[in-house]
Structure 1
Amino acid sequence: MKKLFILCFFISNFAAAQTCLSDFDSSSQDTEFVDNDDGTATDSDLGLIWMRCSIGQTWENETCTGDGLELTWQEALQVAHGYEYAESLGWRLPNMKELASLAERSCVRPAINEVFFPNTYSDDYWTSTPSVVDPQRAWVIAFFNSSNALKDKNLTVFTRLVRTAD
């Protein structure tokens, strides 16, 4: 029984690492982002500045530390309102297209560029895009496998903020 537990522990830890297909075209290139040396990265192509960490985490020693906060959709919108980070205001919840632009479709667990967005949860992240058919739901992007789905706004998921470049 002890050997089975150790084997399962080893396999589950091994499976938790990011996996990328080497023969698949990368959807987000390292050259697409500029490190702003303040816990943010600029997507030059889209004119967006991203927080490199999830809400709740801290940018420290070139990585994201601590635990991300899981928020309801309304809480995520409220946190973004008036949020100050990297000596800047104007942070907001990204819309579905903006957040999907971070998805790295050649990778899973997490499906994101780990160079610029380290320690991203392989889980759902809120967008500001509500459902057009169900007012109780909003869109999320899953950084487990870069998929998207509608979630009940009262469920709690992770949040990453964006702002428009000056």
Structure 2
Amino acid sequence: MKTTILAFALTAACSFNVSAQTCLANGLETTPSEDFSVVTTSSYLHTPTDLVWKRCAEGQEWDGSTCEGEAVKYTWQEALQLAHEASNEDLLGWRLPNVKELASLVERDCVRPAINSAVFPATPPDDFWTSTPSADDPDRAWVVAFFNASHSIKEKDRYVYVRLVRTYTND
């Protein structure tokens, strides 16, 4: 009987959607939608920081209503190269954000993912690379975790998600 109850409990627990965002009902948003304005169909300006962000993680494409496809993970060196190539492709200055810049996107009232999902839909609830290397260990760099709004350092050879940023210009 105990085995049957345990098996049922495990099955029920596994059937819940673990990727659904959870937010505080009465919390004060840290990244309200009003802080963002459209630059292009696939990028938004975060007005408090004057930074333009790609709406989708690298590997995903904006389809007009959401980010489609699978986000791709890169090593830190690959992420830096990817940003360089994106910048050369359209000459807009895309780059890997530093830890403070990426942390400015964290929605502290939410988890799984800890980001404004109206502005940045389908964001993987996981680590994202920053350009900030560890001051103590040359083999590690900072990541921001959009699972729970934390940040930490990871080995540069690990595979982690990427979201590119650029400085806003009034062209």
Give TM-score scaled by structure 2 length.
0.89
Q: State whether structure 2 residue 158 is matched by structure 1 residue 155.
A: yes
Q: Quick one: which of 92, 95, 100 aligns to 1:97? A: 100
Aligned to 1:10: 15
Identity %: 48
Contact 1:91 1:163 in 2 (8 A): yes
Query: Following TM superposition, by how much is the alpha carbon of 1:44 offset from its aligned partner in structure 2, in angstroms?
Result: 1.3
Equivalence map 1:41-120=2 (5 Å): 41-83=44-86, 89-120=92-123
Moved more, 110-119 or 23-32: 23-32
Deviations for 1:120-145, whole angstroms, at most 9, x for unmatched residues?
00000000000001000000000000
The separation in 2 between residues aligned to 1:85 and 1:38, in whole angstroms, is: 20
Question: What's the RMSD between the two structures over aligned residues?
Answer: 1.9
Query: Following TM superposition, by how much is the alpha carbon of 1:25 offset from its aligned partner in structure 2, in angstroms?
Result: 1.4
Q: State whether structure 2 residue 30 is matched by structure 1 residue 21.
A: no
Task: Name the amino acid aligned to 1:75.
Answer: E
Contact 2:71 2:161 in 1 (8 A): yes
| Aligned length, in residue pairs | 164
Aligned to 1:135: 138
Cα distance change on mapping 1:134 and 1:65 into 2, 3 Å: same
Deviations for 1:50-109, whole angstroms, at most 9, x for unmatched residues?
000000000003210001110000000000003059955210000000000000000000
Q: Secondary structure at the match of 1:138?
A: strand
Q: Displaced runs of 4+ in structure 1, greater than 4 A?
A: 1-6, 84-88
The separation in 1 between residues aligned to 2:135 and 2:89, in whole angstroms, is: 34
Q: Which has the larger radius of gyration?
A: 2
Q: Secondary structure at the match of 1:97?
A: helix
The separation in 2 between residues aligned to 1:86 and 1:120, in whole angstroms, is: 24
The separation in 1 between residues aligned to 2:22 and 2:79, in whole angstroms, is: 29
Query: Following TM superposition, by how much is the alpha carbon of 1:36 offset from its aligned partner in structure 2, in angstroms?
Result: 2.7
Please list every run of 5 or more consecutive structure 1 residues that lacks an aligned counterpart in the other structure.
none
Query: Following TM superposition, by how much is the alpha carbon of 1:10 offset from its aligned partner in structure 2, in angstroms?
Result: 2.4
Cα distance change on mapping 1:86 and 1:8 into 2, 3 Å: farther
